[in-house]
Every structure is written in C-alpha cells, then in structure tokens.
Amino acid sequence: MFFKIAVRNIRAYKKRSIITVILLACTTALLVFATAYMDGSHERMIRSSVEIYPGYVQITHRDFRDSPSLENLIFDAGQVTAALADLPGIAVLTPRYESFVLFAAGNKAVGGMLTGIDPAKEGRVSRLWESRKQGEYLEETDSALVYMGSELARRLKVGVNDEVAFVGTGADYSFSADTLRVKGIFRTGLFDFDNRAAFVAKSYLDRVMGAENYATHFIVLPARPEEAAELAAAIGERLGPEYEAASWRQTMAGLVQAMRVDTIFGYITLGIIFIVIFFVVMIYTMLAVSARLREIGILRAVGTEPGQVWRMLVMESVLLALVSVVAGGLIGGSLAYYFKLHPIVFSGFEEQFKQYGLAMTDMPTAFAPLVIVRDMALMFVLSVAATLYPIHKVNGYRPIEAMHHV
C-alpha cells in the first residue's frame, strides 16, 4: 500500500520526478563515463609508453637496476634464451645491449645511447620499426649502419646515408669507436627518446664493444600483456637469483605513480561535483517534501505512524534513484563502450601530450561492467542518502503543524 502511494506520488509530482531523474541520471552517466575515460586513458598511456620501448617485462642481472654498471651485465645471453625457450606465455624474447656514447658529425658532438638490437625481434616488442620516418629499418647482418632518432639526427645535422662517428666504452672498459652510416631515421613522438637513441644490429655492436653474447637486458613481450606481472614472476623463478625479471609496473613505477595521482585528482574533482549534487538533491527534496507537508499531515492524522511515512518517502527516493541510476548507468556505459571502440582523438594536442612523454592522441575509454556497477551503486547510495535528512525533517512535524503548513 505504501508502495502504491509512493508510485502514485512519483507520477503525481511528474515535474519533480523528471527533474530528479534527469539530474541523477546525468550525474551517474558522468561518473560512469569519467571513470571509464580515466581508466581507459591511463591504461592507454601506460601501454603506449611501455610499447614504444621499455617493454612489458625486462630481464636484467639482479643488481643491474640498482647499479647499471658493466659489472652487472648479463654475461651469457645464450643461456637466458635457452632457459626460457620452453616457458609458456612468452611471445617474443629479445636481448639488447645499451651503451652510452658520444656521437659526432661534422663539428657537432652529442651524447646519446647506442643500442644493439636483434632487428627482427625488436620490431615485434617495440615501436621502433613502425616509427621509421626516413630510410630503412635495420637488418640482422647490418654492419656499421645506424637507425637514429629524428631529434638526435637533427642535432647532429645528419640525414640518411650521412656518416656519424661514435666513441664509447667497451665491455672490458676499453676505448671503442667507429664510424656509422645512417640507414634510417625514426620518430616515436617521445621527445626524450628521439633525442638520444640510436640503434645498430646487436651482432655488430657486440663485436665493436667486445660484448659477444652479452646483454644489458632482455625484453619480453608476453602472449597476454595483462598478465605481465605473473609472467615476470615465472621468468624470475625459472632463471634463479642471478637474474631479475620486472614487469612494467616496476620498471615504469614513476609513470604508474603519476597515473595513480591523476586518478586521485580525478576522484577529488568528481567528489566535489558529488558534494554539489548531493546538496542540490537534498535542497530539492527539501522543497519537494515541504510542498507536500499537508498531505503528509493528513496521512499522519488518520493514523499512519511516523516510521510508515518515512518508509513511504524513502521508497519514493529509492525508486527514483533506481530508475536514474539504471538510466545513467546505461547511458554512461554505452558511451564508455562506444568510445572504447571509437577512441576520442585529441587532434591538435600532440605537442602537449608529448611533454608528458605520450606519443598518441587517441584515448579509448575502458569498459569494465564491474566498475560501472560499482559507480552505479555509489550513485544510488548517494542519491538516497541525500533525501534522508529532508525526510527526517518532515517527519519531525506533528500532524497538525504539517497540515497547517502551506
């Protein structure tokens, strides 16, 4: 019976019901979509950063990450490859040999990082191959040919087929130097990377540096990138304590932390919006129930208990909140789903994005039903809670006061 009256009242006060539903549904949709956008863009940022060069899982000598010196190299790359050959979950495994060198061309000298790679496998674990802007990508047998970042090439004032000299330290601390010819130029969009990195075939660099079968680290592309942490643990177990296998969550801890901070700020912003909505709903409910005081007084006068009036009014807000939250969840969820398939593209913001080390401008949203349901539940609780004080207040009137209140 109270349910019937609650439903009738929702229909009788159509305008108030519609405004409430629209307000709450929009807020729910906003929350669901904002969460989907934040989660999605963070995921995208991390993934794209990871995929440009750092990789999902990195294998190093156990002390290399704390102290990246020539003592802490992987000295038997072949053994690592062999040990992991039959470990499930690995899509690609490739070694790198990184070395800080001084590049020189004409009268320009620029410090940078020269890295030996397995060109074919590297092409699958990072974006190097896709980022080619001029000339050609590397091949396994290339000798003294370099594939260079666009900013580095610009600073050295070299183009494809020009010569660049480098000076560095070999694995045995010997002096090592050679002259390279530019085979290709890449641009990932990550300014810092394009400004410093240059690549050669690992077989060539190993020879020049006296680093045959050495590696600074291996990069692993997991068959399922979302299980990178589990794979890193399995690799660590397989290789034993001499080695360390770290997932991107560890190697990119700074970025992960930055995203977390961003999420917190996002939630603070949403929180402020919610506080405003909370009070809007509360004040609106206060006005709405006050306009109905007389009716509530009648209910009380004929013997309805305060608790029963309370139940009836709460039922109304529960129904309104339920409709709103479901509608908002559907709208927000559909938007999240749509923009997951058709990512939002921030054209014209490339430069700003690059400042944050982001080399992409499309931001797919996340579509996680559980998160959506969580957000809907949160909004439901919030919208019902906002009506409790006004209802409590109205219920505090004596029937005669309520009936005379117009």
Partner 1 sequence: MNSSFLEVKNISKTFQPGRDVQVAALADITLSFNRGEFVVIHGPSGSGKTTLLNIMGGLDSPTSGDVILDGEKVTGVPEKQLSRLRRDHIGFVFQAYNLIPVLTARENIEYVMQLQGRGRLECTNRTQQVAEKLAIDKLLDKLPNQLSGGQQQRVAVARAVASSPKLILADEPTANLDSKSAAGLMDMMQALNEDEGITIIFSSHDPLVIGKAKHSVLLRDGMVASDEFFG
Question: Quick check: 14 binds partner 1 (CB under 8 A)?
Answer: no
Helical axes 253-290 vs 369-395, angle rounded to 10°: 30
Name which of residues 136 to 195 contact partner 1 (CB under 8 A). Answer: none
Report the distance separating Cα 124 and Cα 275, nearest Å: 48
200 vs 296 by CB, closer to partner 1: 296
Which residue reads 């600073």 in tokens? 155
Q: Quick one: tokens of 205?
A: 């660099």
CA dihedral 26, 28, 32, 33 (to 10 degrees): 10
**Beta carbon of residue 398, minimum distance to partner 1 (angstroms, whole number):** 7
Query: Cα torsion at 307, 312, 316, 317 (round to 10°)?
Result: 0
Total interface residues for partner 1 by CB under 8 A: 23
Contact window for partner 1 (CB under 8 A) among 7-15, 124-132, 321-329, 342-350: 7-15
DSSP state of 236: H
- Does 241 engage in binding with partner 1 (CB under 8 A)? no
Q: Least distance (Å) from partner 1 to the CB of residue 1?
A: 5
When the beta carbons of 224 and 404 are compared against partner 1, the nearer one is: 404
Q: Does 398 bind partner 1 (CB under 8 A)?
A: yes
Cβ-based nearer residue to partner 1, 302 or 341: 302
List the x/- string, 279-318, binding to partner 1 by CB under 8 A. ----------------x--xxxxxxxxxxx----------
Closest CB to partner 1 among 281 and 403? 403
Helix axes 253-290, 293-301, angle to 10 degrees: 70
Stretch that binds partner 1, among 1-9, 44-52, 61-69, 283-291 (CB under 8 A): 1-9
Residue 403 in the binding site for partner 1 (CB under 8 A): yes
Measure the CA dihedral 190/193/194/199, to 10°.
-140
Cβ distance to partner 1 smaller for residue 302 or 370? 302
**Among 248, 231, 198, 187, which residue's Cα sits nearest to residue 97?**
198
Q: How far apart are CA 257 and CA 47, in angstroms?
A: 14
**Closest distance of CB 33 from partner 1, Å:** 36
From the list 167, 148, 166, 168, the residue with the least C-alpha distance to 158 is: 148
Contacts to partner 1 by CB under 8 A: 1, 4-5, 8-9, 11-12, 295, 298-308, 398-400, 403
